Structure 1
Amino acid sequence: MPVTPNSIITPQTPRAWTCVTSTGSGDIDDDPSNVVLLVTAGANGARITGLKSIARATISGMAAHLFLSLDGGTTKRLIRGATLPADTVSTADAPSPYDWGLSEDNPLILAAGALLYVGQGVTLSAGIVHHAEGADY
């Protein structure tokens, strides 16, 4: 969409993104291993207003990391980290999602074409599902 100078640009297209991580990554440098692409921002950027992660098997606490790339995925910079709490998952105990704290009042703003990757600290073969909500500008 063309942008008019000095005009407010509001989110245009509601979006939802999801991915699954399963292999652990201990490195949090600019080229982390075993990270998965979660979000590709639109041509005018994106506004992420929700992000949750939910384990598909029992975990005993685990680090999770968000990486931002502004160069097509070559360089991935750590922008947030979290400790997913221990959670017992069974047929009688549903998994509890971890909320990264993003909201309408506390969004994550991404530049045009920015890429958001997610990684986890240790391998969990059943995986962790990551779900983001927001909108492209």
Structure 2
Amino acid sequence: MSASNNAIFPQLSFGVSAVVTGANTTLSDTPDANAVELVLPATVETDGAQLVALWALPRATCSATVLYLYRSLDGGTTKRLIATAAVAADTVSTTDAPAEVVFKLKGASISESNPLYLPPGSGVGKTRLYVGASVALAAGWAISGDGLLMQKAA
């Protein structure tokens, strides 16, 4: 990728989602197979992106747990833990909505004022994100996020 003097701004929005059911009990750089990929748009490869929101909802009653966000810059071989979400036990029923849980980065919720930057790259070097939960939930955790694609000014 060649250098340019053109400014890059976050412009086009995108969404990501995944469902996590199994327990991810390994917090090393190679978490177990229960860490699920949040598939990013292919256009992140060109100029990068910002993840500006990431949250989770339990799809059934859950016990206290921790949700994990990993980033990989080598095709998923190495996954570095970069953000977490602490979850309190929650009873979900037809009259009790599940409690939304937000991921924190650098001590604050991932947001437009505290985004997770996703650098450009292609092939094996493309940024990949993975999510996991420390306690299995058979019905699963619905993980969702919003992002902004970076684009060069014309």
Coarse TM-score class (shorter-chain normalised): over 0.9
Tell me what 2:29 maps to. Answer: 30
Match for residue 103 of structure 1 among 85, 103, 111 = 111
Partners of 1:48 and 1:63 lie apart in 2 by 20
| Inter-CA distance 106–3: structure 2 relative to 1 (3 Å threshold) | farther
SS in 2 for 1:10: strand
Tell me what 1:121 maps to. Answer: 134
Match for residue 69 of structure 2 among 66, 70, 80 = 66
Q: Percent identity?
A: 40
SS in 2 for 1:11: strand
Of Structure 1 and Structure 2, which has the larger fraction of its residues in helix? 2
| Inter-CA distance 116–90: structure 2 relative to 1 (3 Å threshold) | same
**Letter of the aligned partner of 1:109 in structure 2?**
Y
Q: Is the 8 A contact 2:85 2:101 kept in 1?
A: no
Aligned length: 136
Offset, 1:88: 0.8
Are 2:130 and 1:131 equivalent residues in the alignment?
no
Runs (5+) with no aligned partner, structure 1: none
| Inter-CA distance 90–78: structure 2 relative to 1 (3 Å threshold) | same
Offset, 1:4: 6.6
Runs (5+) with no aligned partner, structure 2: 104-108, 121-125
Aligned alpha-carbon RMSD (Å) = 1.6
1:68-117 Cα deviation digits (max 9, x unpaired): 00011111111112211111100110101102211111111011220110
Q: What's the TM-score, normalizing by structure 1?
A: 0.92
Offset, 1:28: 0.7
**Letter of the aligned partner of 1:57 in structure 2?**
A
| Inter-CA distance 84–130: structure 2 relative to 1 (3 Å threshold) | same
- Ranges of 4+ aligned residues in structure 1 off by more than 6 Å: none
Tell me what 1:47 maps to. Answer: 50
SS in 2 for 1:132: strand
SS in 1 for 2:19: strand
Q: What's the TM-score, normalizing by structure 2?
A: 0.82
